[in-house]
């Protein structure tokens, strides 16, 4: 039982690392990192839903993507520098900013989506639909267990 668990921890870490590395290689073609893509993807989803401006604050993005504030602060800084997102003042909170995707980014989004999908597809190339569902379900439960441990 314990041997299996140790192997599980190692395989989880290794598979996530390999997946991230492959995705990094793909996104690098368009000058994005994996984390930058995750932020872009999150903003796209929220813009599609048309939610309140508070959803576009750095702290909200950080919460949704399970990131630390200094981490999201740095990522946003670099996305602003690259012109991939734009920053607007919050209507009532002077501390906060509202972040939006730039036109340039919206234009390239389908391409990034494609690159991302290719990576995951390559990882499960020989999986059945049921196996993919199973893996997703098991990972979700694991995530839930770990979050409850906090």
> For binding to a copy of itself (CB under 8 A), which residues are involved?
1-2, 4-9, 11-20, 22-23, 66, 116-117, 119-127, 129, 131-136, 138-143, 145-147, 149
Q: Which does 115 bind (CB under 5 to 8 A by kind): DNA, a copy of itself, none?
A: none
Q: Are 105 and 85 in contact (CB under 8 A)?
A: yes
Minimal distance, residue 76 CB to DNA, in Å: 6
Q: From the list 23, 26, 34, 84, which residue makes contact with DNA (rule: CB under 7 A)?
A: 34
Q: Are 127 and 89 in contact (CB under 8 A)?
A: no
Q: Which does 130 bind (CB under 5 to 8 A by kind): a copy of itself, DNA, none?
A: none
Q: Which does 94 bind (CB under 5 to 8 A by kind): a copy of itself, DNA, none?
A: DNA
CA–CA separation, 31 vs 37, rounded Å?
A: 10
Write each residue from 73 to 112 as x if it is in contact with DNA (CB under 7 A), else as -, in one continuous string.
xxxxxx-----------x-xxxxxx---------------
Cα 71 to Cα 4, 65, 67, 79, 107, distances in angstroms: 33, 11, 7, 13, 26
Query: Three-state secondary structure along 18-50?
Result: HHHHHHHHHHHHHCCCHHHHHHHHHHHHHHHHC
């Amino acid at each position: 039982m314990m041997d299996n668990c140790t192997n599980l921890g190692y395989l989880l870490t290794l598979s996530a690392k390999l997946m991230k590395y492959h995705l990094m290689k793909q996104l690098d073609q368009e000058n994005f990192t994996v984390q930058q893509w995750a932020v872009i993807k999150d903003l796209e989803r929220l813009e599609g839903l048309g939610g309140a401006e508070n959803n576009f604050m750095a702290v909200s993005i950080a919460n949704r993507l399970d990131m630390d504030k200094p981490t999201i602060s740095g990522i946003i800084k670099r996305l602003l520098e690259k012109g991939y997102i734009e920053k607007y003042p919050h209507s009532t909170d002077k501390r906060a900013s509202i972040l939006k995707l730039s036109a340039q980014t919206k234009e390239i989004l389908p391409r990034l989506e494609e690159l991302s999908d290719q990576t995951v597809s390559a990882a499960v190339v020989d999986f059945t639909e049921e196996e993919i569902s199973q893996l997703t379900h098991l990972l979700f439960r694991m995530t839930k267990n770990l979050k409850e441990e906090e």
